[in-house]
Amino acid sequence: MNTTTERAAALLARIAGLAAQYRRPRDSVCLVGVAKTHPAASVREAWAGGVRHFGESYVQEALPKIEALRDLRVTWHFVGRIQSNKTAAIASHFDWVHGIDQLRVAERLERQRPAGLAPLQCCIEVNLSGESSKGGVSPGELGALAGAIAAMPRLQLRGLMTLPAPREGIVAQRKEFARLAACLAGMRGSLPGLDTLSMGMSDDMEAAIAEGATMVRIGTALFGRRIKA
């Protein structure tokens, strides 16, 4: 595939095919195109190929793109590490946040979400591998943070997100994603509205879909290699 528009259409078809292969509804998996370092023009091309959800990791890069693409019906996801000094901009300009892992960050997003906007849709990031270099709470810490966020009226807790350590082969990859799915299932007794598993990227998308991903965050397979600054 030579163009972003063509890759977008092919990815959407592949995701629908994988969902069907694993006996899931064809429209049960949302493609979030991660556009960090790629220009607004590339997002526009992906939109032309059928992608409607886009993720950004850097606030200062995202805001000009969001402004430039206001003529399109885009759902914006913040998928990077959340810095405290960026929460006001995130709360004001994004529809979703993947990766809340601290109560104080959730409290800032809640306080700074404009009253005229719908509640900010949120996922808690879970660190399944215990890597100190990655964000996320441990599975044992999930309950307390989820309960606190669920009580915040300007936030809507939707589910969980993870970025597992790389694994070779679909069997090993599926084990990691199955752990996140089990965490979500265990939380539904007290929080029955949880419906989102944000997991899987370009190299492990099939494994994530097989284990119930409702959102896959795809960058390289959609936009090509990251553009270096």
CA distance linking residue 106 with residue 199, whole number of Å: 20
**pLDDT value of residue 164:** 87
**pLDDT value of residue 226:** 72
**pLDDT value of residue 165:** 85
**pLDDT value of residue 191:** 95
Burial of 183 (0-12, 13-18, 19+ CB in 10 A): buried
CA distance linking residue 11 with residue 15, whole number of Å: 6
**Beta strand residue intervals within the chain, DSSP E:** 30-34, 53-56, 75-78, 96-100, 120-125, 155-161, 196-198, 215-218
The three-class DSSP label of residue 147 is: helix
- Neighbouring-strand partners of residue 126: 137
Low-confidence spans in the chain with pLDDT less than 70? 1, 227-229
* DSSP per-residue codes, 121-136: EEEEEB-SS--TTS--
Structure tokens at 122: 């949120």
How confident is the model over 152-161, as pLDDT tens digits?
A: 999 999 999 9
This prediction's pTM:
0.95
**pLDDT value of residue 38:** 95
Q: Look up the CATH architecture of domain 4-223.
A: Alpha-Beta Barrel (3.20)
**pLDDT value of residue 193:** 93
How confident is the model over 61-87, as pLDDT tens digits?
A: 999 999 999 999 999 999 999 999 999
For the chain, the first-to-last Cα distance in angstroms comes to 25
**pLDDT value of residue 201:** 95
**pLDDT value of residue 166:** 87
